Structure 1
Amino acid sequence: MPPRSILPVLLAVAAFAISAPAAAQSAVEPEPADVATLDGIIAAVYGSISGPAGQPRDWDRFRSLMIPGARLIPTGAAPDGSVGHRVMTTEEYIQVVGPALEGPGFFENEIGRVVERYGPVVHLMSAYESLRTPDDAAPFQRGVNSFQLLHDGARWWVVTIFWSAETADNPIPDGLLGFGR
C-alpha cells in the first residue's frame, strides 16, 4: 500500500484516466457498424487484416478498432519446446506482421467463439482458420485469438489480442468450434 501522502495523488490520476473518453484518444474514426456490437468489431478485425495477395490491408480501419495502448501478442513454440511470445503495439504489428499478410494472400475467418462478460469488460475466445484465398478447400492454419474488449458507453474497443496457432499437440477444443465452415 502506498504511503497516505501519495494516495490522494494516485486516486486523482486513476480518476482522470478512467474519466477521459477513449474515443477522444483515437486519431482514426471507425465505421459505426464496426464498433457498435461484439459481432461488428470481431468481423472488422478479421476483415481489416484479410485480403488477396499483394493488396494492402485496411490499416486505418484496423487502427480505428484499437484502444490507444492496445497490445497484440502472438505466441509460439520454440525448437526446444518452450513457448515464447512477442508484445507489439498496433503500429509495430502493422510494420512487423503486415507484410506477411499482404504478400501471399491471407484471409482469416472466425470458426467458433466463447464470450465472457462483466459489465463493460469482455473476454472473447475466437477460434479462427487462415486461408490464402477465400475459395481454399482447407485452411493452412487454425488457432485461437483471445480478445480483451472494452465498451466505453459509446462503442467497443480492442484492448488486447493474444493468440496461438493450433498444433497436433494442442488442437482447438470442441467447445470453441461451432459455426463457420
Structure 2
Amino acid sequence: MLRLSLFLIALQWSVHSSAQSNLQTIDGVITELLTQISLKKGDKMDTAAVRNLFIPTAQLTILMNETDSAYAETVTLNDFLELITDPYYEEGYSEKEIHRVIDQYNGMAQVFQSFKAKDSEGESGRGITSYQLVQMENRWWIVNILWTNEVEGKPLPQKYLKGKQ
C-alpha cells in the first residue's frame, strides 16, 4: 500500500511539474489554454488550470465586427470562467490553432494566433486571437486576450494562415 501511495504521489508531482514546465514557454501557455478550453461532450472545464495561465487582473475582450458597426465586450477573468462553464460548453467545443506569430522583448510578448473552432451544434468558424503575455516568476502569464471571428467579406490575412485553411 505504501508503494502504491508513493507511486501516486510521484505521478501527481510529475504531472504538476510537467504542467509547470509548459508554462515556461509562450508556446506552452498558449497550447495549455487551447487544451483546457477544448472539451469533449460531458467533460467539465478545469477552471483552476485555466486560472493558472492568467494574471489575476487579466481581461478578455471579443471584438464583434460582423456589421457596419463594431463593438467590443470585455470581461474579467472571473466572468470569463463563469461564461465558459456554461452547460453549452459541456456539450463539446474544440478550438485548434492554424498558425501563430510571436513577437517578444524584455519579458513581454504579443502573440497573434489564427484558429478554427467547432461547437457541439456543428457550427464552425475561424478567427484571430491576440494574446499579451508577461514573463514573471520563471514562467509566462497571459495578461489580456482580444479575439475576433472571421466574417464574410473579411477573410483572415494569408500571413496568419501560412498555407493552412
Relative to the length of structure 2, the TM-score reads: 0.80
Cα distance change of structure 1 residues 142 and 100 upon mapping to structure 2, 3 Å threshold: farther
Question: Is the contact between residue 50 and residue 101 of structure 1 (CA under 8 Å) also seen in structure 2?
Answer: no
Are 2:143 and 1:159 equivalent residues in the alignment?
yes
Question: Is the contact between residue 51 and residue 102 of structure 1 (CA under 8 Å) also seen in structure 2?
Answer: yes
- 1:11-160 correspondence to structure 2 within 5 Å: 31-77=19-65, 81-99=68-86, 102-132=89-119, 140-160=124-144
Per mean C-alpha deviation after superposition, the further-off stretch among 154-163 and 83-92 is 83-92
Query: Match for residue 10 of structure 2?
Result: none
Residue 30 of structure 1: CA displacement? 9.3
Question: Is the contact between residue 110 and residue 180 of structure 1 (CA under 8 Å) also seen in structure 2?
Answer: no
Q: Which runs of 5+ in 1 are unaligned?
A: 1-28
Instruction: Report the Cα distance in structure 2 between the residues aligned to 1:118 and 1:176, rounded to whole angstroms.
Output: 21
**Amino acid paired to 2:47:** W
Instruction: Report the Cα distance in structure 1 between the residues aligned to 2:143 and 2:38, rounded to whole angstroms.
Output: 20
Instruction: Report the Cα distance in structure 2 between the residues aligned to 1:169 and 1:150, rounded to whole angstroms.
Output: 34
Give the 4+ runs in structure 1 shifted more than 2 A. 178-181
Deviations 1:150-172 (A, max 9, x none): 01151000000100001122211
Higher fraction of strand: 2
Per mean C-alpha deviation after superposition, the further-off stretch among 99-108 and 163-172 is 99-108
Cα distance change of structure 1 residues 165 and 114 upon mapping to structure 2, 3 Å threshold: same
Question: Is the contact between residue 117 and residue 123 of structure 1 (CA under 8 Å) also seen in structure 2?
Answer: yes
Residue 45 of structure 1: CA displacement? 0.8
Length, aligned pairs only = 148
Give the secondary-structure state (helix, strand or coil) at the position aligned to 2:75. coil
**Percent of paired sites with the same residue:** 26
State the Cα RMSD in Å.
2.4
Residue 57 of structure 1: CA displacement? 1.1
Give the secondary-structure state (helix, strand or coil) at the position aligned to 2:52. helix
